[in-house]
Amino acid sequence: MRYVSTRGQAPVLGFDDVLLAGLARDGGLYVPEAWPQFSPAEWRAMRGLSYPDLATRVMLPFVEGALDEATFAPLVRGAYASFDHAAVTPLKQLDGGLWLMELFHGPTLAFKDVALQLLGRLFDHVLTRRGERVTIVGATSGDTGSAAIEACRDRAAIDIVILHPRGRTSDIQRRQMTTVLSPNVHNVALEGTFDDCQDLVKAMFNDAAFRDAHRLSAVNSINWARIMAQIVYYAHAALSLGAPDRPVSFCVPTGNFGNVYAAYAARAMGLPIERLVVATNTNDILARFFASGAMEAAPVVPTISPSMDIQVSSNFERVLFDLLDRDGAAVTESLTRFRSTGRFAVAEAQLGRARAIFTGHRTDEEMTRATIAATLQMAGELVDPHTAVGIAAARAAGALGTPLVVLATAHPAKFPDAVEAAAGIRPGLPARLSDLHSREERMTVLPNDLAAVQAFVHARSRAALQGAALQGSALGAPLGMGGAA
Ligand SMILES: *Cc1c(COP(=O)(O)O)cnc(C)c1O
């Protein structure tokens, strides 16, 4: 499989280079040159496969040329053995045609584990094969750092440094990161805000000498391999509900558009996916886009579903690329305009094509709380605020003539305060984390100072040691830079 950039100016790459690069050199995102297709008979034959076997089948065309089945399958099996539900992403019926797909049975209780558990193993495999190492550096406000840490812990070719703002994350969020005592995991509690953490990470990536010497990398949400891994659970749900002989629709609590883009990809591979409901909280740039055809930035407002508090959905660029008939120059022009004016729009015909697949829906805070309470009352399910935004959008979508699957993107125990305030019940941690509050923590408090943080990274980066030993060799070439985890 070959991958092209959405901006059309970066080299065409194979899977392993796309994996390690993340962002393309021209600032674009990598997408497959052509979508692999399965016929209805081939999909039908995949019904009843275990999750790891299905995952291997669905993803194999994307890694072709880089990994063969005998190499790939054990990595996939290892990734999903870390989930504590036999179905990995089980479906639950809420009522009549409405279903929940639970994506939170991984180590950190949120859907990012589904992709990151595989990504960490793929990184390690490809790097080890090349005799290389990287240092993953990232900033977190609390909700996504743990998934990156769990993905990278104990990986021979990876060191990971995650900065969080000291005292500004919840107890659970901090402990999910700081109780991972693996020698290659380094938590920094920064004396500053989340923005300070992000600025320091950006500054490290912008320091070219530092970036190259330490082989800085990121496992950010634009990485193609994350999308690829997310396609699988759409296939899993669709096949369970009757595909390819019966169409199905999905409703996705959306932030960076990575999750719902994976549903779009599953559809492009031949699954009969009828409608994709893009559920947003009050940060509704996407809902407004699907209504008007104009992408207009607005300030970010903090909500009780913080993982969806975004201003710009970076993965939307991949859909835009298709809407603009894969014209990289046109994508670049739209996004350049967006960067300078905060707005771009697509033509009526393109909006029509987008709306043939996607519907946007915005849910405010009050409705999110009411949905948490109503879902407990009517279906006996305690759901987290992100999932509640999805359920509210699904109810608003009305009858679609297909089963509608809402993606449950986080376990309610990940957001206990918001859930308790809405439902009157404090969700308990699942068994695997029940002793979280008595586990030993390890972190280093650092001042909000670039030199101090760089010295910390330098002292812990095995890639830097290797780099010094290999100075002058071709291995010194930089990897693509990353963004948020
Ligand atoms: C990251 C995240 C989202 C948003 O997913 P995108 O792929 O960025 O659209 C939704 N809910 C939860 C709990 C998340 O962690």
- Per-residue pLDDT, averaged over 356-362, amounts to 98
Asked whether 306 lines ligand 1 (CB < 6 A), one says no
> According to the model, what pLDDT value does residue 469 have?
61
In short, whether 220's Cβ falls inside 6 Å of ligand 1 is no
Confirm whether 5 is domain-assigned: no
pLDDT at 468 over 80: no
Mutate to test the pocket of ligand 1, among 111, 170, 260 (most ligand atoms within 8 A of CB): 111
Same domain, 209 and 237: no
Pocket test for ligand 1, best of 254, 277, 313, 391 (most atoms within 8 A of CB): 254
The whole-angstrom separation of Cα 307 and Cα 140 is 11
Report the alpha-carbon distance of residue 132 to residue 157 in Å, rounded. Answer: 7
Instruction: pLDDT band for 485, please (50, 70, 90 cuts).
Output: very low
Which percentage of the chain shows pLDDT scores above 90?
88
Same domain, 318 and 278: yes
Strands 358-362 and 273-280: parallel
How confident is the model over 274-301, as pLDDT tens digits? 999 999 999 999 999 999 999 999 999 9
Give CA–CA dist 485/187, Å, rounded. Answer: 14
**Which residue puts its alpha carbon closest to atom 11 of ligand 1?**
409
CB of 221 within 6 A of ligand 1: the answer is yes
Q: Label residue 396 exposed, middle or buried (CB < 10 Å: 0-12, 13-18, 19+).
A: middle
Could you tell me if 382 and 376 are in contact, meaning their C-beta atoms sit under 8 angstroms apart? yes
Q: How far apart are the C-alpha atoms of 207 and 457, rounded to whole Å?
A: 13
For the whole model, what pTM was predicted?
A: 0.94
- Whether residue 210 sits in one domain with residue 234: no
Residues 6+ away with beta carbon under 8 Å from 167? 189
- Whether the CB of 254 sits within 6 Å of ligand 1: yes
**Which of 307, 358, 363, 415 to mutate to test ligand 1, by most ligand atoms within 8 A of the CB atom?**
307
Query: What is the pLDDT, as a whole number, of residue 481?
Result: 35
> Is the CB–ligand 1 distance for residue 387 below 6 Å?
no
- pLDDT band, very low/low/confident/very high, at 479 (cuts 50, 70, 90): very low
* 379 in the same domain as 264: yes
Q: From ligand 1's centre to the CA of 410, what distance in Å?
A: 9
Specify the number of domains making up the chain. Answer: 2
Residue nearest to atom 4 of ligand 1 (CA): 255
Residues 282 and 367: beta-carbon distance below 8 Å: no
Is the sign of the CA dihedral 128, 157, 221, 393 positive or negative? positive
Residues 263 and 393 reside in one and the same domain: yes
For residue 102, how far is its CA from the centre of ligand 1 (angstroms)? 13
pLDDT band of residue 471 (cuts 50, 70, 90) is: low
In this structure, the answer to whether residues 341 and 213 fall within a common structural domain is no
Residue 301 and residue 153 share a domain:
no
Q: What number is the average pLDDT over the span 111-132?
A: 96
Domain around 144: 133-220+440-470
Least confident among 81-85, 109-113, 153-157, 310-314: 310-314
Distance, in Å, from the CA atom of 167 to the CA atom of 144, rounded to the nearest integer, reads 16
Over residues 385-406, the mean pLDDT reads 96
Q: Which CATH number does the domain housing residue 138 bear?
A: 3.40.50.1100
Report yes or no on 123 lying in a domain. Answer: no
255 CA distance to ligand 1 middle (Å): 5
Residue 163 and residue 240 in one domain: no
- Would you say residue 482 has pLDDT above 50? no
Q: From ligand 1's centre to the CA of 257, what distance in Å? A: 8
**List of E strands, 370-476:** 404-408, 444-447
Whole-number Å distance, alpha carbon 293 to ligand 1 midpoint, is: 23
Side-chain-side CA neighbours of 337 within 13 Å: the count stands at 12
3-state secondary structure 293-345: CEEECCCCCCCCCHHHCCCCCCCHHHHHHHHCCCCHHHHHHHHHHHHHHCEEE
Q: Determine the average pLDDT of the residues in 125-142.
A: 94
Average confidence (pLDDT) over 168-179: 93
Single out the residue of 308, 241, 229, 274 nearest to residue 100, CA to CA.
241
Domain annotation covers residue 395: yes
Check whether 372 has a pLDDT greater than 60. Answer: yes
In angstroms, the Cα distances linking 483 to 210, 217, 221, 342, 405 are 16, 9, 8, 20, 30
Of 430, 461, 479, which one is at a domain's C-terminal end? 430
For ligand 1, the distance from its centroid to the CA atom of residue 39, given in whole angstroms, is 30
Task: Tell me the pLDDT tens digit for each residue of 77-86.
Answer: 999 999 999 9
What does the pLDDT read at residue 221?
84
Strand partners, 446: 190
> What percent of the chain is predicted at pLDDT more than 70?
96
Task: Note whether residue 310 is domain-resident.
Answer: yes
Residue 220 — very low, low, confident or very high, per pLDDT cuts 50/70/90? Answer: confident
Average pLDDT over residues 382-410: 96
Ligand 1 centroid – CA 409 distance (Å): 7
Question: Which residue bears the tokens 């010295």?
Answer: 455
As annotated, the active-site residues are: 112
Paired sense of beta strands 273-280 and 248-253, if any: parallel
Confidence check: pLDDT of 181 > 50: yes
The stretches of 1-68 forming alpha helices (DSSP H) are 15-21, 40-46, 51-63
Determine the pLDDT at residue 473.
Answer: 40
**For residue 480, what pLDDT band results from cuts at 50, 70 and 90?**
very low
**Is the separation of the CB atoms in 173 and 207 below 8 Å?**
no
Whether the Cβ atoms of residue 411 and residue 384 lie closer than 8 Å to each other: yes
Same domain, 264 and 157: no
Stretch 122-138: mean pLDDT: 95
Protein residue closest via CA to atom 2 of ligand 1: 307
Most informative mutation of 259, 264, 315, 411 for ligand 1 (most atoms within 8 A of CB): 259
Instruction: Tell me the per-residue pLDDT of 231-251, one tens digit each, with 9 for 90 and over.
Output: 999 999 999 999 999 999 999
Instruction: Assess whether the previous peptide bond of 412 is cis (omega < 30° from 0).
Output: no
Please write the tens of the pLDDT for every residue from 311-345. 889 999 999 999 999 999 999 999 999 999 999 99
Mean pLDDT throughout 33-56?
97
Q: Of 403, 430, 457, which marks where a domain is finished?
A: 430
pLDDT at 465: 76
| The ligand 1 atom nearest the CA atom of 310 | 8
* Residue 197 resides in a domain: yes
Determine if ligand 1 sits within 6 Å of the CB of residue 307: yes
* Pair 96, 243: CB distance under 8 Å: no
Residue whose CA is closest, atom 15 of ligand 1? 307
- pLDDT recorded at residue 399: 87
Residues 238 and 276 in one domain: yes
| pLDDT tens-digit series, residues 7-40 | 999 999 999 999 998 889 899 999 999 999 999 9
